A and B are shown apart, each in its own frame.
Chain A
Amino acid sequence: MQKKVEKRETGSESVSSISWPEDIHRVLREMNVRQVGYVPDSGHARLIHLVRADRSMRAIPLTTEEEGVALAAGAWLGGERSVLLMQSSGAGNCINMLGMANELRVPLLALVTMRGQWGEFNPWQVPMSQATVPSLEAIGVVVQAVDRAAEVGETVAAAARLAFNTCRMVAVLISQRIVGAKQFK
């Protein structure tokens, strides 16, 4: 496994440890994911870079996260698998569209990097962060949180199998402890 030193200030366990974006990318390749919808987040920057460099995947920048839910429905209707990358503040933007995915029993894999959580500086990030789990669960998404870098890959793999094999909406919440708190300096 490729090692990479994270420059961001993270929880003590994950500094200079596992390169979890590479792990996610490998899982997405193994799961035959073709369409990658994303609203950028600094936590997903490395993964987005990997996806853009991968000819087997199509990187699809979105203007808002709910577009990615509808995109996933269309992709799956057409026989392709997709994934949606966002930060926790985007979860609230998706709720009604997730209701559609719920009614359709469309497999939806969402990888959510958390803000407003571990060592956050910006108070405006906190309310949606706190509402992410209850709001996703309220609309029927299976939520699986991960807070250790070494467990990201296996958690995403398990979530992808659950989503695509049982036609369910599954979100992996990647802790800000792993991503690192944004430094305002």
Chain B
Amino acid sequence: MRHKNPTLDRRKAVAVILGRRGDALVVAGLGAPTWDTAAAGDSPLNFYTWGGMGGAAMIGLGLALAQPARRVLVITGDGELLMGLGSLATIAVQKPRNLAVIVMDNERYGETGMQDTHTRFGVDLAGIARSAGFRAAGTVYSAAQLKSWIPRLHKQAGPVFCDVKVTTQVAPMVLPARDGPTLRNRFREALLGPVEAFK
């Protein structure tokens, strides 16, 4: 299997992606993708997960189906996605046009001691997404490639899948709010308004 050494910095890559988010709704996978998303700028429309490993893409699906007029970005990690690979098949069946699943793939379980994940041995997440039936899927190795993917992540008819290969460089922790009810309430209030959110 083809394999290149990642060169992209995860923190910078997430900042580039979210710099063009507009009013997109963002679901962040537990661990580093949550820190990366918080570091790019806190927003009540960021839904940070601190648990429920394997569920980020499915949270994104439920959200995308409920809010078809809004772009939904799932930003998660390779280990998190590998735990919920079946969700790629489930998403592909529903074909939400407004959903993009973005994996910050450092090929490691970063929160548990940097053990190799399956992608380190060549498992091709974009290939799996493409085979499942995502409308667009690809792997990004360079800043130039990432730049070319930005419009696809934000505009192209989904489901879109992008595996962004990033280095194992650990960025400083940026810890957002972690209390579940706080995160859900601020998200729903910002999206639905206070009347609908708390009725």
Contacts and interface: CB of A to CB of B under 8 A. Distances in A.
B89 interface: yes
B51 A100 contact: yes
B18 interface: no
Interface in A37-93: 58, 60-64, 66-80, 82
Given A35-B65, A76-B62, A104-B183, A70 B52 contact: yes
Contacts of B90: 60-63, 67
Contacts of B122: none
Secondary structure type dominating chain B contacts:
helix
A105 to B, nearest CB: 5
A72 B184 contact: no
Contact of A104 (B58, B86, B93, B180): B180
Given A62-B90, A63-B89, A106-B184, A82 B52 contact: no
Interface of A: 34-35, 58, 60-64, 66-80, 82, 96-97, 99-101, 103-106
23 contacts: A60-B61, A66-B54, A66-B55, A67-B84, A67-B86, A70-B52, A70-B57, A71-B61, A74-B66, A76-B62, A77-B59, A77-B66, A78-B64, A79-B66, A79-B188, A79-B191, A82-B62, A96-B51, A99-B51, A100-B55, A104-B183, A104-B184, A105-B181
